[in-house]
Amino acid sequence: MIEPQRPSVIEAHAEAHPPCPRHADRAARFECPRCGDYRCDQCVVDAPWGESACVACDAAGRLRYPLAWEHGLDVVSTVRAALLDSNAVFGAMPERASIARALVFAVAVPWLAWVAPMVIVWAGATDPARDPEATVDAAVIALGWVPTASLASVALGAGALMFGTRAWGDGCSARLALRASGYAQAMWVLPMFVLPLVCCHSFAALAGVVVVLAAFVVIRGQAIATFARRHGGVRASRTRLVAALELLASSAPWGSFLLPLLW
């Protein structure tokens, strides 16, 4: 389903090619971007996400799925990869990987994007008449509502993905749908840029909000469409339908969260 492409990082060696250390009869034309060794084309491993390395680096585990969260706790580079490299992240998602990790990420993103800054602002406010009830409300939102809305968003989004890929393609496993929907929560850092704009009432602010929301829909839609095409066997012309369905379903819990605030 995934066509590995020879990436540009591995360049044919321009000079005379020495023999491959493993295959004496073959020219070592490729330089491994991981270790710098020259190998023949039989010693190059192409990962589904477009990266390549020599067999030794692959055996040593250096050819890894490019989502830092799968190997550690680097939330910033994970969000960046999910936002800017959806073909690699959502198109080559490994089937046998942890669902729990994706779910923790899905809760961590809104927490780091909104809750932590709000807590810092709240803690910095030195109003002696601080309302204890407001403190309880804030704690309920931060500890209860945000994780609940995030996990509900992942579950509904995954359900929509499973339904959509089954309706218009070959379908995808619940495990993959949950992982894709979990990592798609990275897009919830984008509305963070809207919040400061909302405070200043102007046409420029409104235009900024529209631009950010449009970016949210386009980036998340692209990621989910890529997933549906590569993992769900959905025809390219139908991937936008799946993406729209997933976007609607996964936005529902956040909408119900925001409505009382608007009231």
Task: State the nearest-atom distance from the C-beta of 19 to Zn ion, in Å.
Answer: 9
SS3 12: strand
46 forms beta bridges with 52
Count CB atoms within 10 A of the CB of residue 38. Answer: 18
Task: State the nearest-atom distance from the C-beta of 56 to Zn ion, in Å.
Answer: 5
Q: What angle do CA 181, 183, 185 make, to 5 degrees?
A: 75
Name which of 66 and 171 has its Cβ closer to Zn ion. 66
Name which of 31 and 246 has its Cβ closer to Zn ion. 31
Task: State the nearest-atom distance from the C-beta of 46 to Zn ion, in Å.
Answer: 13
Nearest Cα residue to 86 out of 187, 189, 226 = 226
Cβ-contact 87, 226 below 8 angstroms: yes
Please name the residues in contact with 57: beta carbons below 8 A apart, sequence gap of 6 or more: 32, 34, 35, 45, 63
Name which of 51 and 70 has its Cβ closer to Zn ion. 51
Name which of 17 and 34 has its Cβ closer to Zn ion. 34
Task: State the nearest-atom distance from the C-beta of 23 to Zn ion, in Å.
Answer: 4
Contact residues for Zn ion (CB under 5 A)? 20, 22-23, 32, 34-35, 40, 42-43, 53-54, 57
Task: State the nearest-atom distance from the C-beta of 54 to Zn ion, in Å.
Answer: 3
- SS3 labels along 111-130: HHHHHHHHHHHHHHCCCCCC
CA–CA distances in Å: residue 8 to residues 2, 33, 41, 46, 116: 18, 10, 14, 12, 40
Name which of 21 and 208 has its Cβ closer to Zn ion. 21
Query: How far separated are the first and last CA of the chain, in Å rounded?
Result: 48
Name which of 61 and 128 has its Cβ closer to Zn ion. 61
Q: Within a 13 Å sphere around the CA of 258, how many CA atoms are in the beta-carbon half?
A: 8
Cβ-contact 236, 227 below 8 angstroms: no
SS3 261: helix
Task: State the nearest-atom distance from the C-beta of 184 to Zn ion, in Å.
Answer: 32
Name which of 45 and 194 has its Cβ closer to Zn ion. 45
Task: State the nearest-atom distance from the C-beta of 58 to Zn ion, in Å.
Answer: 8
